[in-house]
């Protein structure tokens, strides 16, 4: 078996190769042609082997690199290709909100699975995206990785910034054996949200609270949540998310109003302290053994 790490996921791919018993690991050579088109090339002998390609798709070049990588692996004669997309871009457009729009999540699922025997991803925006794949597709959770990290911290209480995250915070609460609650959120636009405390929340004044989210993009949600908790006397605030996109100055703005910021390594960023490699490897090992 071989593991190939695209440029958006090199470190995580190497961690996955270690979890798979130090499977041979490689990275592609990537350059641009003079007209701007992407050129990639992979090394190593892959004929008849199982190959794991790891590449998050937070940007269009990363997505294009993944598609080219899959084709290169196919051309190299791989027996089976397992495509790991730790952060699956375009998953937020998971339905047609207005006439004339695409269902981007479906379109990308179809393209990504084209040269794959199976696809593995982590904490999709919506579980419906898994249903768009026609080949085996699996979703790992970032929660166990974050729980392994938060278990070492003196956290008293867990909070989801919105009701959509209830299942996530509930799972974390079970793993850490802590109480939890969810804030009420109203999105004003893509950069602005309004948050409020629901009635009957557990007392948290002076306590250490961890805000749990699946993705941090502009940071608007977490900054507002941290400010709300502060106004009500929270003692300390940690932030933990699966996917840390941290657009523009999001990381600095969050750091300014919280005490600790953690993410998993589905995306490379300054907060990536919890690895999903063991959770992805567990699925890979099961699927590799199944056929």
Q: Quote the least distance from Cβ 192 to ligand R5P, whole Å.
A: 9
Residue 75 or 194 with smaller CB distance to ligand R5P: 194
Binding status of residue 58 toward ligand R5P by CB under 6 A: no
Residue 81 or 217 with smaller CB distance to ligand R5P: 217
Of 12, 169, 216, 277, the residue at the interface with ligand R5P (CB under 6 A) is 216
Count of residues of this chain found to bind ligand R5P when the rule CB under 6 A is applied? 13
Binding status of residue 94 toward ligand R5P by CB under 6 A: no
- 216 vs 236: CA distance, rounded Å: 19
Binding status of residue 220 toward ligand R5P by CB under 6 A: yes
Q: Quote the least distance from Cβ 152 to ligand R5P, whole Å.
A: 24
Active site residues: 185
Applying the rule CB under 6 A, the residues between 186 and 215 that interact with ligand R5P are 213-215
Applying the rule CB under 6 A, the residues between 123 and 182 that interact with ligand R5P are 161-162, 164-165
Q: Quote the least distance from Cβ 177 to ligand R5P, whole Å.
A: 24
**Do the beta carbons of residue 224 and residue 188 sit within 8 Å?**
no
Of 217, 242, 264, 269, the residue at the interface with ligand R5P (CB under 6 A) is 217
SS (H, E, C) 155-218: CCEEEECCHHHHHHHHHHHHHHCCCEEECEEEECCCCCEEEECCCCCCCCECCEEEEEEEEECC
Binding status of residue 221 toward ligand R5P by CB under 6 A: yes
Rg (CA), the chain: 20
Close Cβ partners of 122 (under 8 Å, ≥ 6 residues apart): 86, 87, 88, 139, 140, 141, 142, 242, 243, 264, 266, 276, 279, 280
Q: Quote the least distance from Cβ 14 to ligand R5P, whole Å.
A: 28
Of 243, 149, 250, nearest to 191 by C-alpha is 250
Start-to-end Cα distance in the chain: 14
**Do the beta carbons of residue 232 and residue 195 sit within 8 Å?**
no
Of 28, 89, 219, 244, the residue at the interface with ligand R5P (CB under 6 A) is 219
Of 188, 200, 195, nearest to 231 by C-alpha is 195
Residue 89 or 161 with smaller CB distance to ligand R5P: 161
Classify residue 205 as exposed, middle or buried by CB count within 10 Å of its CB (0-12, 13-18, 19+): exposed
Binding status of residue 218 toward ligand R5P by CB under 6 A: yes
**Contacting positions for ligand R5P (CB under 6 A):** 161-162, 164-165, 213-221
């Amino acid at each position: 078996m071989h593991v190939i790490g695209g440029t958006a996921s090199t470190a995580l791919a190497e961690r996955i190769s270690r979890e798979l018993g130090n499977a041979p690991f490689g990275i592609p050579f990537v350059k641009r042609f003079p007209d701007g088109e992407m050129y990639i090339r992979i090394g190593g002998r892959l004929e008849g082997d199982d190959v794991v390609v790891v590449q998050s798709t937070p940007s269009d070049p990363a997505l294009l690199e993944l598609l080219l990588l899959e084709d290169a692996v196919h051309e190299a004669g791989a027996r089976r290709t397992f495509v790991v997309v730790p952060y699956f871009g375009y998953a937020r457009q998971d339905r047609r909100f207005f006439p004339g729009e695409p269902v981007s999540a479906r379109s990308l699922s179809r393209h990504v699975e084209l040269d794959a025997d199976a696809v593995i991803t982590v904490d999709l925006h919506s579980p419906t995206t898994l249903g768009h794949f026609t080949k085996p597709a699996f979703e790992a959770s970032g929660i166990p990785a974050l729980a392994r990290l938060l278990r070492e911290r003196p956290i008293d209480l867990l909070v989801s910034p919105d009701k959509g995250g209830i299942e996530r915070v509930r799972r974390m609460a079970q793993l850490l054996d802590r109480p939890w609650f969810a804030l009420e959120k109203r999105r004003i636009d893509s950069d602005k949200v309004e948050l409020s405390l629901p009635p009957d929340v557990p007392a948290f004044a002076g306590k250490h609270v961890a805000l749990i989210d699946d993705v941090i993009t502009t940071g608007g949600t977490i900054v507002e949540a941290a400010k709300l908790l502060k106004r009500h006397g929270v003692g300390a605030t940690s932030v933990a998310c699966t996917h840390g996109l941290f657009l523009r100055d999001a990381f600095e703005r969050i750091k300014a109003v919280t005490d600790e910021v953690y993410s998993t390594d589905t995306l490379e960023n300054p907060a990536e302290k919890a690895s999903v490699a063991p959770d992805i490897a567990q699925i890979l090992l099961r699927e590799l053994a199944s056929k």
